[in-house]
Amino acid sequence: EPEVTQTPSHQVTQMGQEVILRCVPISNHLYFYWYRQILGQKVEFLVSFYNNEISEKSEIFDDQFSVERPDGSNFTLKIRSTKLEDSAMYFCASSGDRYSREFFGPGTRLTVL
Amino acid sequence: KNQVEQSPQSLIILEGKNCTLQCNYTVSPFSNLRWYKQDTGRGPVSLTIMTFSENTKSNGRYTATLDADTKQSSLHITASQLSDSASYICVVILTGANNLFFGTGTRLTVIP
């Protein structure tokens, strides 16, 4: 079965630093998503991306966050100036169309010190 | 406010037994409801997807039911296996929206 991959698996950074989380969605998928899960809490939607632009974003996705699909295969999430509360598992997902099954990646655990 | 509530929070059952997990939602307008399985430290994996017009959907030993009138769904697991130990998450999608509303999950532990 095709897989969504994410790198790195674990990222440790100092507060105030910029981080870029990388994802390679399934090749023929058109919809891309980022979610986060703070330890012990539920998964929360951050942003959806379609046709090279953001189609929806949550209140969490403020000006510190940005997404990009730089080369047609990678899908990145950038956090400009990390805060302690950004520590979480970040999941990338992709789907073939808007209402079909989403495939999640294994996640990147971000730890902000 | 759009919410997805699940019960119980956690459940321990013996291997081979059946169990049923519950989900109540207030998400409106409702498009479809999904159940996901999430192993610790891993991404969620889709088990079933149901539109508002479907009452039941099966995937192997997993059977999901949906009552759109009462806004309730259940996930029934038959003949549980040790590998079923995971969090089971109910997820609801708004009509016209492009994001998922996640429940808090039920942590299932299957013991030998």
Using a 10 angstrom Cβ sphere, with 0-12 exposed, 13-18 middle and 19 or more buried, the burial of residue A95 is buried
Q: What residue in B sits closest to A91 (Cα-Cα)?
A: B43
Query: Which residue of chain B is at minimal alpha-carbon distance from A44?
Result: B102
Residue A1 contacts by C-beta under 8 Å, 6 or more apart in sequence?
A: none
Pairing of strands A10-13, A108-112: parallel
pLDDT at B10: 97
Do residue B98 and residue A56 have CB atoms under 8 angstroms apart? yes
Interface of B with A in 22-41 (CB under 8 A): 31-32, 34, 38, 41
CB B33 within 8 A of CB B55: no
Tell me whether residues A43 and B104 touch, CB distance under 8 A: no
**What would the mean pLDDT of B93-103 be, rounded to a whole number?**
79
CB A33 within 8 A of CB A93: yes
User: CB of B11 within 8 Å of any CB in chain A?
Assistant: no
| pLDDT tens, position by position, A40-62 | 899 999 999 998 999 989 989 99
Q: Please state whether beta strands A88-95 and A103-104 pair in parallel, antiparallel, or not at all (unpaired).
A: antiparallel
- Mean residue pLDDT of chain A comes to 93
Q: Are A86 and A79 in contact (CB under 8 A)?
A: yes
B98 band by pLDDT with thresholds 50, 70 and 90: low
Inter-chain contacts counted by CB atoms under 8 A, chains A and B: 53
In angstroms, the first-to-last Cα distance of chain A is 37
Position B30 pLDDT exceeds 70:
yes
